[in-house]
Structure 1
Amino acid sequence: MTIKPAAAPERLNFRTKFLYGFGSLSYGVHLTVLPLLLFFYNQVIGLSAQVVSAALAVSLIVDAVWDPMVGHISDNLRTPWGRRHPFLYGSAIPIAVSWVLLWSPPGGFTMGQKAIWLLVFVVGARLLISLYEMPASALAPELAPDYHDRTVVMSYRWVLGTLGGALAANLGYFWFFRPTPKYPMGQLNPDAWAPMALTAAAIMLASILVSAIGTHDRIPRLHRPAERRASLLQNLREVGATLKNWNLGVALTGTLLGGLASGLYSGLALYIDTFFWGLKASQVGVLSITNLVASFGAAVVAAAYSRRVGKRKACVSLFFGSLLVLQAPLLMRLLGAFPGPGDAALMPLLMLQRFAWGILGNAGFIVVTSMIADITEDAQVKTGRRSEGLVMSTNTFIGKATAAASALMPGLVLAFVHFPARARPGAVDPGLVRHLVWVYLPVTTTLSFLSISAWLFYRIDQAAHERNLASVREAEAVAEAAREAGVEGEAPTPVRVAG
């Protein structure tokens, strides 16, 4: 049996990077627009904040359990279209349909029926989106094995995801949420939300199909798992072996703490923009565009800065900077040192703040997603199995499980400060709004600080990744030689290359 030398990692061309990243427009829409459900069902439909938050929490718990199942199944799937693409093609239309229904509760329903409608379709929408996103994210480590090229691929994915979210949100803020005599703040207009949801669904459908078709030619180059039958117990043992990884534990800890902070921020962001800063829908849209523009700069910063100082140092310093920039204006305003609603300087300062926050925060998330992808080879060296889907989805599982808990937090905070449903800007006690921000600030700052600090314990640098990659390529070369000799089976467990 002749063993061919393992090929060096392939660098992707622009076309593949762009078309792969294009699919993340759908996930960007999901991440940007779905947090508005609390505002929509509470302030527009009239459900209590606690009920909406509870429904969102349940949906996240169900979705969190679902993610690793989808990831593990896709890791071991054998089809003519590979492991991931059947999920990409099959999820597109159901995602679009569920999304439209989620934002269109029948007007004749009672509040109880609308609550059930919300629960059913937010669970369905999340499960279907994960059916696409888990296999799609698992493609990244395999498409881009090179340490730095992987960060560039994640940059395309992040920037285009941000573009998708900004596109959907700004169509809402600038078009569907246009002010009317009855609704000067258009985000409170009940008739504006269903058309926005339909447009968002169309963006999601198109982006998924374009990405799936655009990366279809890569299928012959992707890993094909050996045909085998494994018992449930064996599957559980394999999952446990993959998850028993120090660096994955670090990632899960950081994600857990960050998910709590992110859930509280996402749920209250529009409340703060509307009632604390006194912004109209068009002004919120301008800030969203500012964040979009910043994401393009963030892609450049993430690749260049992580190449210079390493991924761990880059992500920690970027996240600490973004946390400071995000929270400082709120604290300064509470202390009377920052312009308030109606001040001519407010919007320019908020635009500058959101731009800086967008650069730092987006760059940090790009680097972190690349770091999580690097864990796949680290796990493969220990187990001998390619488990990109399981690794990536397990991190998502922790994020969503903690976000499920944090989904309750905005509703509980709103109830704690006695924030009214269907409130009107200018009619809410300013002291109550300030109380809301005073509760929000210390909780999110503490959780974010702990989350960022966890990444200091991450151990994979460029040298370690390249040793892992060399071990994996050597094992795959042995497996390829065995297949050519007519022996089908799993690749042998890689032997860690000394270094």
Structure 2
Amino acid sequence: MSANILPGALPTRIKVAHGAGAVALGIKEAGLTTFFMIYYNQVLGFDPRIVSLILIGAMLVDAMVDPLIGRLSDATRTRIGRRLPWLYGAAVPMAIAWALLWMSPDIAAHSTLGLAFNVIAVRILVSACEIPSISLVAELTRDYDERTALMRYRFLFGWLGGLVATALAYGYFLKSDDPAQNGLLDPSGYSAFGLFGAAMILVSTLGSALGQHRRVVALPPRPPVQRHGIAMLADILLAFRNPAFLALTSGALFLVTSYATSIAATNYMMLYVWRLTDDQLAWYPAGLALAVFAAFLAVGPAHRRLGKRDTAVAAIAFGTVVGFLPYAARNLGWWIELGSWPSMALLLSFMTVSLFGMIVATISASSMVAEIVEAHEVEHGTRIEGVFFSGYLMTQKFGQALGIFLVGQIIALSGLGERVRPEDLAPGTATGMAWTFAGAMVLISIMSALLLRRYPIDRASHEARLAALASTGGAAADSQGPRP
């Protein structure tokens, strides 16, 4: 075992502390995905096309910055740990930027450029915490299953952060006392929502850093790494030439596109295809939470039995088939009465099981990044955890942007006009929308599974690399100092 990793199983408190670092990401995703558009469009009066461009543009800028953050975090050497200074330094400005995004119209409503900078700042600051934090997965342990455990806790806390923020938004912050007034259209609730999210971001990020502090500081030191631009660029290009990394990121691109398309299209499908009421829609988060907890419990045993790659591929196939069935049944006339409570219950059951498969696949794919670190170390003698994890996150952001774009195309192809009530929609339009969405999801998922099948690292090959590194002392290049 390399001297760079402390031996032994990780205590549960370390897993919990590490997972807490993902709360900020969950809150950011929930806020920008669910509430940002309606706040800036319907409440503050921004053109929806401008809001969409700001979201996608900020996402792309953030994605391009990710490898730089990853490489800089790899080069960070301080008395308080290799990655932790990023969490300590970004926590306060990240919380402030998030709160400003939801402040009163007097601050935000009159400046499109200011809004764009605010969104970009939020995304980059979250990345400045998320990338160093998730890179610790490969530093805290080299054990195949312990890394799975770390990723399980990260996804659990990330999802819980988003779910708590969403549930409180609907049930408290954005709930109107006046039955005639829709709380989603009242600007006053958004300020409280933003301040609550900022507090959660600050506490969880600093709590995660403090909870891991002693463990990270105890990791044996590494020699300094060159920081100049040529060395940084060389490491980034080297990572993206790694065959295992290319297989993983190409498959993950379609996996994230599938998930992002599903989430972004949820409201359209629920309203126009399935004719659900507001009361019925309120049950959707419950199914989401059930899928998250089930995936948290199932992914560890699945990895021990099937391995990470095969678990991801099987989960994609399972989730895709289950997700396709209700759309096929509806369009073929085999479904029960649309809009009824039995219809809602049956649909939610299918959606929960399908989402369970997609979450298991996502956790598995994310966990596969860590093993690439040792594959690179064996071949090149250096460890660049931050570069690999940031490159993976960059791919995820491209997938999210592609998912948002695809939903727009699906709606356009379906011919859905503006301000159309579900009961006024022609039956053929809803059927066409259902077939287009379900067919796109199947094709995207097939591409994801086929590409992930090319990922070559399994438990046996990983353990063989660990043995090889142990025989040579590990981290060969680190022992030699900086590269020229």
Return the TM-score normalized by structure 2: 0.89
320, 323, 332: which one pairs with 1:323?
320
- Counterpart position of 2:334: 337
- Counterpart position of 2:13: 15
Letter in 2 for 1:51: I
Higher alpha-carbon deviation: 170-179 or 306-315 = 170-179
1:294 has 2:291 as partner: yes
CA contact (8 A) 1:50 1:412 kept: no
| Cα 1:278–1:102 shift into 2, 3 Å | farther
Letter in 2 for 1:490: G
1:3-39 deviations in Å (ceiling 9; x for gaps): 9999884210111111111121221222333212345
DSSP-derived class of the 1:457 partner: coil
DSSP-derived class of the 1:215 partner: helix
DSSP-derived class of the 1:345 partner: helix
CA contact (8 A) 1:20 1:215 kept: yes
Deviation at 1:280, TM superposition (A): 5.0
- Counterpart position of 1:168: 165
- Counterpart position of 1:87: 86
DSSP-derived class of the 1:218 partner: helix
| Separation (CA, whole Å) in 2 of partners of 1:144 and 1:390 | 18
| Separation (CA, whole Å) in 2 of partners of 1:405 and 1:355 | 23
CA contact (8 A) 2:4 2:222 kept: no
- Counterpart position of 1:181: 179
| Separation (CA, whole Å) in 2 of partners of 1:390 and 1:155 | 21
| Cα 1:116–1:386 shift into 2, 3 Å | same
Letter in 1 for 2:26: G
Trace 1:23-34 onto structure 2 (pairs within 5 A). 23-34=21-32
Letter in 1 for 2:12: F
Letter in 2 for 1:268: A
| Separation (CA, whole Å) in 1 of partners of 2:290 and 2:475 | 47
DSSP-derived class of the 1:342 partner: coil
CA contact (8 A) 2:320 2:442 kept: yes
| Separation (CA, whole Å) in 2 of partners of 1:105 and 1:433 | 38
Deviation at 1:65, TM superposition (A): 0.7
Trace 1:18-167 onto structure 2 (pairs within 5 A). 18-36=16-34, 37-42=36-41, 44-104=43-103, 106=105, 113=110, 115-167=112-164
1:186-229 deviations in Å (ceiling 9; x for gaps): 54555544433332232222211111111111122335331254
Trace 1:418-497 onto structure 2 (pairs within 5 A). 419=416, 426=423, 432-476=429-473, 489-490=480-481
Letter in 2 for 1:312: R
Alignment gaps of 5+ in structure 2 = none
The alignment yields a C-alpha RMSD, in angstroms, of: 3.1
Q: State the percentage of identical aligned residues.
A: 29
DSSP-derived class of the 1:226 partner: coil
Trace 1:230-241 onto structure 2 (pairs within 5 A). 231-241=228-238
| Cα 1:248–1:223 shift into 2, 3 Å | farther
Deviation at 1:90, TM superposition (A): 1.4
CA contact (8 A) 2:43 2:185 kept: yes
DSSP-derived class of the 2:297 partner: helix
| Cα 1:94–1:228 shift into 2, 3 Å | closer
DSSP-derived class of the 1:11 partner: coil
Aligned residues: 481
Return the TM-score normalized by structure 1: 0.86
DSSP-derived class of the 2:265 partner: helix
Deviation at 1:107, TM superposition (A): 6.1
Deviation at 1:389, TM superposition (A): 0.6
CA contact (8 A) 1:65 1:397 kept: yes
Letter in 1 for 2:218: R
CA contact (8 A) 2:4 2:221 kept: no
Alignment gaps of 5+ in structure 1 = 493-499
